[in-house]
Amino acid sequence: MTIIYSLVRPLIMTLPPEMAHAMSIGVLKWGLGRPISKPAKYPSLKTNVFGLDFPSPVGLAAGYDKDGEVPDQLLALGFGFTEVGTITPLRQPGNARPRLYRLIEDRAIINRMGFNSRGIENAILNLVHHKKSVGIIGINVGANKDSEDRVGDYVKGIHALHEFADYFVINISSPNTPGLRQLQGRKALGHLLSKCREALNDVDPSRKIPLLVKVAPDLYADDVADIAETVLEYEMDGLIVSNTTVERAAGLKSRWKDQAGGLSGKPLFGPSTEILWRFYRATGGRIPLIGTGGVASGRDAYLKIRAGASLVQLYSALVYQGPGLPAKINRELAKCLQEDGFTSISEVIGFDHRN
Ligand SMILES: Cc1cc2nc3c(=O)[nH]c(=O)nc-3n(C[C@H](O)[C@H](O)[C@H](O)COP(=O)(O)O)c2cc1C
């Protein structure tokens, strides 16, 4: 599959990015990519986090399958889990196009999609086709741009979608919905988390569905401390670190580097891993972290886990390396563990903090 992708990649890169994305979803949906890779087959990669059994710690991040159209097909590529969303209660178009840029020389992406979502009702119509036995799917919920009750929007998502969620993510870190990141402030965050926790207790009193929060990488030390305390206080089950960055690293080469929006991919690896490291310290390893940002190889995944991640996610690297990537990363990650004498992921989580 990797060879086929390397042959068609130059052609794909000539297409407008959103068209290429829509086509890739179509290919997955209609099964034209089959036979696809077997799910992870490495015993050392199997891991239990939030009480869920993951065949691999490497998942697909939110934003690729926003409406839950192809979760089972994505899992079949070898991802250990996939995250659907961000889903907003009502259908909304997102920002005007163009709003997605490939920074090819930098192996990066800038997006200002602005939560384009077909809404909860459409997501339900898609997700009823998902087979629970195929694998783990997280559901990432958000608020409509023009909503007068943003907290209520997250609550609606939890109420409507809990049947399909192996875990939920409260996304407060998209840079493309004005004011959304303000929900990361201590008071606003406490209020939001208590309402979401309440909603989840209503629909899932036995507390089986883990509730996670996804944060931005653009945080000061005080923000990290505040968020860490607040998520522990409100008994969140985990944190995703991180979303895209509004910072622009020095040395970006692409002509698109000054486009507005969130930057992801290779240049995000360093900053997002540093913030992950800080969150591991600030939470004392008491809740699982998902390390997201710039993962493009097994070695990158390994470094995130050593910095404190229990699981990792990627999106941008898939654009550059194609559908063979999850299988390749699983293989490389298993090799990293073996070379350093580890037999399981749990031995590696936060290793760099102990040594
Ligand atoms: C085109 C695009 C759309 C995205 N949409 C979402 C989204 O809807 N919700 C979300 O939580 N993150 C979204 N993200 C952020 C990713 O989930 C991820 O956190 C970020 O891209 C960093 O990972 P990466 O460097 O592997 O891409 C999006 C990223 C990209 C590139």
Task: Kindly report, residue by residue over 13-25, the tens digit of the pLDDT.
Answer: 888 898 889 888 9
Residue 24 designated active-site: no
Report residue 19 as tokens.
Answer: 């068209």
Report residue 237 as tokens.
Answer: 């089950």
Amino acid residing at 65:
D
Nearest protein Cα to ligand 1, atom 18: 243
Q: Whole-prediction pTM value?
A: 0.95
What's the CA-to-centroid distance between 61 and ligand 1, angstroms?
6
* Mean pLDDT, residues 312-334: 95
Atom of ligand 1 nearest to the CA of 264: 25
Cβ proximity of 214 and 169 under 8 Å: yes
Q: Give the separation between CA 177 and CA 184, rounded to whole angstroms.
A: 13
What's the CA-to-centroid distance between 315 and ligand 1, angstroms?
6
- Marked catalytic residue, from 117, 174, 242, 272: 174
Cβ proximity of 132 and 144 under 8 Å: no
Nearest protein Cα to ligand 1, atom 4: 63
pLDDT score of 130 more than 50: yes
Q: Give the separation between CA 133 and CA 185, rounded to whole angstroms.
A: 38
What's the CA-to-centroid distance between 291 and ligand 1, angstroms?
12
**pLDDT tens-digit series, residues 202-253:** 998 887 899 999 999 998 888 899 899 999 999 999 999 999 999 998 999 9
pLDDT for 2 equals: 67
Determine which of 30-34, 104-108, 174-178, 328-332 has the lowest per-residue pLDDT on average.
Answer: 30-34
More confident residue, 195 or 33: 195
Atom of ligand 1 nearest to the CA of 240: 19
**pLDDT tens-digit series, residues 24-38:** 898 888 875 554 555
Nearest protein Cα to ligand 1, atom 26: 314
SS3 12: helix
Q: Give the separation between CA 244 and CA 294, rounded to whole angstroms.
A: 10
pLDDT for 35 equals: 47
Amino acid residing at 2:
T
* Mean pLDDT, residues 284-292: 96
Query: Measuring from each residue's beta carbon to the nearest atom of ligand 1, which residues come in under 6 Å?
Result: 61-63, 66, 85-86, 100, 109, 111, 113, 140, 171, 174, 214, 243-244, 264-265, 268, 292-295, 314-317
pLDDT for 183 equals: 74
Element (H, E) at 281: helix 266-283
